[in-house]
Structure 1
Amino acid sequence: MRLPRVKPEHAPYQLSDGTIRLGGALHGIASEITDVDGWAWAALMLMNGTRSPTEIASGLRSSFPALTAEDAEDIVATLLSSGHVEEAAPGPCQELTEQEKERHSRSRDYFRWVDLTPRDHGWEPQVRIKAARVLVLGLGGTGSHAAWSLAAAGVGRLHLVDPDVVELSNLNRQMLYTEADIGRPKTEVALERLRQVNSGVEITVERSTVASSEQLASLVDGFDVLALCADRPREPSGIQTWANRACAKAGISWVSGGYNGPLVSVGVFGPGGPCYACVRAGIPPQPGADYAWPGVTGASAGLSGHLVAHDVLALVTGTMATPPGYFHGVTMLDPDGHVYARYPSRPQCEICS
């Protein structure tokens, strides 16, 4: 970095024992530094966007003459690699147009906050989103929200697959459709609506029922991530099992989401983590665990869809803090009812062990 500064969202503060916290403890990305001698704090105070790393190390030595040049440089380098520091004078980003930068400026602010990888100009996550190819399977309660969110985020290519037509009972939760659309194919309506949301995204559709694992394997070919928002055929040995095998064979990640009454949960799977079958084997059987129960509101469908989109974007941008291989979610009637389940690969699993 030429002129590093601490990200404003990560402004450091000291505890009474001298420990430094960066990133905000409530946001899940905080770091703590044990700083008995005050060296790290002094370096962070010098990182205000007006000094080069060499000048920061020199200033540190001026304040602490006992520090060697090598030690001062190591302290500065460690802080620069922490992800809590950004370039005050970022270089140009050629991959995005000025219109795209304006459209996604708030997304850049978000990724600057959560991305702990040092970047040249801060637009790198958005560039990855623009280059991404995402398959959305199912355009119902979860899928309609997920597809909208991914289009709005600027995913470069979206392919939407669904066999159904719009029905009156869909309209309590499926955000892409209106009363005037009843009887029309969901794919047709979704294509119209999403092109109005973001004309810069390449969107294609396919009105089709996925009837076999072989068909699903063919569909995922050429995509980076599968957003599985369909729930038929049911488990066991249903569409999630098919996705588990198809995506493992293709070497891509996939995200599956849905709702079971007030329980909204999402599974994240892919290379480098335990597969769906292994994680699911560790969870006690429960009714509706495959998103089979019909009770849903616009709020619960929206939560599931946007959680799916969030996890897809985290995978695409490389900002996912936890490796794939887990379920997470919320229980809407319990403020403390956060869901998280992760189990290791089973020794004999042919997919992930």
Structure 2
Amino acid sequence: MRFPRVKAEHRPFRTTEGTVRIGGEIYGLAAEIDDPGGWVWAALSLLDGRRGPEAVAARLIVMFPELSPDEARGVVDDLVGSGYLEEATAPPPRGLTPREVDRYSRNQAFFRGVDLVPGHSAWETQLALKRARVVVVGLGGTGTHASWALAAIGVGRLHCVDPDLVELSNLNRQLLYTEADVGRPKADLARERLGEANSDIVVTAARHRVTGEADLRSLVDGYDALALCADEPRGEGIRVWASRACAAARVPWAGGGYNGPLVTVGVFDPPHGACYECVAAAEHAHRPEGGIPDLGGPGVTGTSAGISGHLVAQAIVSLVTGVPEVAPGYVHGINLLSPDHHVYARHPARAGCPTCFGS
């Protein structure tokens, strides 16, 4: 970095214990640094975007004669490499139009806070989204909210798949449809409505029912991630198909849904974490009465469907950009009726699993 400064979201402060805390508490990314000599606090004060690392190190040597040049530069280098700093004068990267810079300015502010890759501009995350290709399977409660969120955030190409027509009972939760749409194909409507929501992306659609692993393997070919939002066939069938098809195609995926007030999402990308079948098997062994909850069913509101879809969308953003960096291979969720009931399951791959380790 030429002129680094602390990101506004991570403004540091000194604690009564003599340490320095940097990293916004709201982001859950705070780091606490021992600073008995006051060097770190002084360096952070000097890292204000008006001077380069060498100049900051030189000032530290003047302020603290006990510091050697190597020690002073080490303090500065550690802070610059922490991810809490940004380049003061970094422009948006090439590849984003002025319209897109304006449109996604709030995205940029979000990514700036959560991206701790040293020297990484939050605009680079937006550019990665623009280049991303995501297929959404299932355009019901979870899928309409997930696809809208992915379109709004700027995923460059979305392919939406669903075989069904809109029914009146869908309208309590399925974001993209209105009363006038009853009887019309969901896929066609999704293409139309998402294109209206963001004309800077490409939206395609297909009326297609997934009937096996081969279907999913064909659908994910050429895409960067799968958002699995379908709940048919019931049970684990379609998730097992997705797990195997995506592993074979080396495509990461996230699948989510609801079971009454319980809302969950699973995120998978072997070998970077266990596959769905390994996590499910471990959960069944750990909790034979339950295991991973079944998804779907009649008990759903706009709230539970919306949370489900947005959890899936957030997982997809992480998978295609690496921001925030979260290792796949887990299921998590919440119970809307019990604030203290959180779902989190992460397990190692089973020995010899053909999905995780290849056949």
Structure 1 residue 252: Cα displacement: 1.4
Q: Secondary structure of the equivalent of 1:351?
A: helix
Provide Cα deviations, 1:26-82, integer angstroms capped at 9, x if missing partner: 422111212222211111111111111111111111111111111111111111111
* 1:338 matched to 2:337: no
Q: In the TM superposition, what are the counterparts of 1:198-213 in structure 2 within 5 Å?
A: 198-213=198-213
Q: Which residue matches 1:302?
A: 306
Instruction: Report the CA distance between 1:105 and its aligned residue.
Output: 0.2
- Counting aligned pairs with the same residue, the percent is 55
Provide the C-alpha distance between the structure 2 equivalents of 1:59 and 1:220, rounded to a whole number of angstroms.
Answer: 54
The answer to whether structure 1 residue 352 and structure 2 residue 356 are counterparts is yes
Of 323, 329, 347, which residue of structure 2 is paired with 1:325? Answer: 329
Q: Which residue of 2 aligns with 1:9?
A: 9
TM-score of the two chains, using structure 1 as the length reference: 0.97
The SS at the match of 2:43 is helix
Counterpart-to-counterpart distance in 1, 2:92 and 2:238: 44
- Aligned residues between the structures: 352
Which is worse superposed, 158-167 or 277-286? 277-286
Listed one character per residue, the Cα deviations across residues 104-137 of structure 1 (whole Å, up to 9, x for unaligned) are: 0000000001000123543100000000000000
Give the RMSD, CA atoms, in angstroms. Answer: 1.4
- Counterpart of 1:144, as a letter, is T
2:313 is the alignment partner of 1:314: no
Task: Name the aligned partner's letter for residue 301 of structure 1.
Answer: A
**Residue 321 (structure 1) shift:** 3.1
Three-state SS of the structure 2 residue aligned to 1:265 is strand
Segment drifting more, 21-30 vs 191-200: 21-30
Tell me if the contact between 1:252 and 1:270 (Cα under 8 Å) persists in the aligned partners. Answer: yes
Is the 1:5–1:87 Cα contact (8 Å) retained in structure 2?
A: yes
CA distance in 1, matches of 2:260, 2:222: 34
1:12-27 equivalences in 2 (<5 Å) = 12-27=12-27
Looking at structure 2, the residues matched to 9 and 292 of structure 1 have their Cα atoms a distance apart, in angstroms, of 38
Residue 329 of structure 1: how far off its partner (Å): 1.4
Deviation at 1:140, TM superposition (A): 0.1
The 5 Å alignment of 1:35-184 reads 35-119=35-119, 121-184=121-184
Task: Please say which of residues 161-170 and 267-276 is displaced more in the overlay.
Answer: 267-276
CA offset at residue 92 of structure 1?
4.6
Offset from partner CA, 1:195-237 (integer Å, 9 cap, x none): 110111111101000111111111111000000000111234x
Q: Is the 8 A contact 2:6 2:47 kept in 1?
A: yes
For the residues of structure 1 that align with 2:327 and 2:127, how far apart are their CA atoms? 21
Q: Distance in 2 between matches of 1:351 and 1:120?
A: 33
Whether the aligned pair in 1 keeps the contact of 2:114 and 2:324 (CA below 8 Å) is no
CA distance in 1, matches of 2:137, 2:342: 26
Q: 2:92, 2:123 within 8 Å by CA — same for their partners in 1?
A: no
Partner amino acid, structure 2, of 1:243: A
Is 1:289 paired with 2:293? yes
User: 1:21 & 1:352 partners in 2: Cα distance?
Assistant: 39
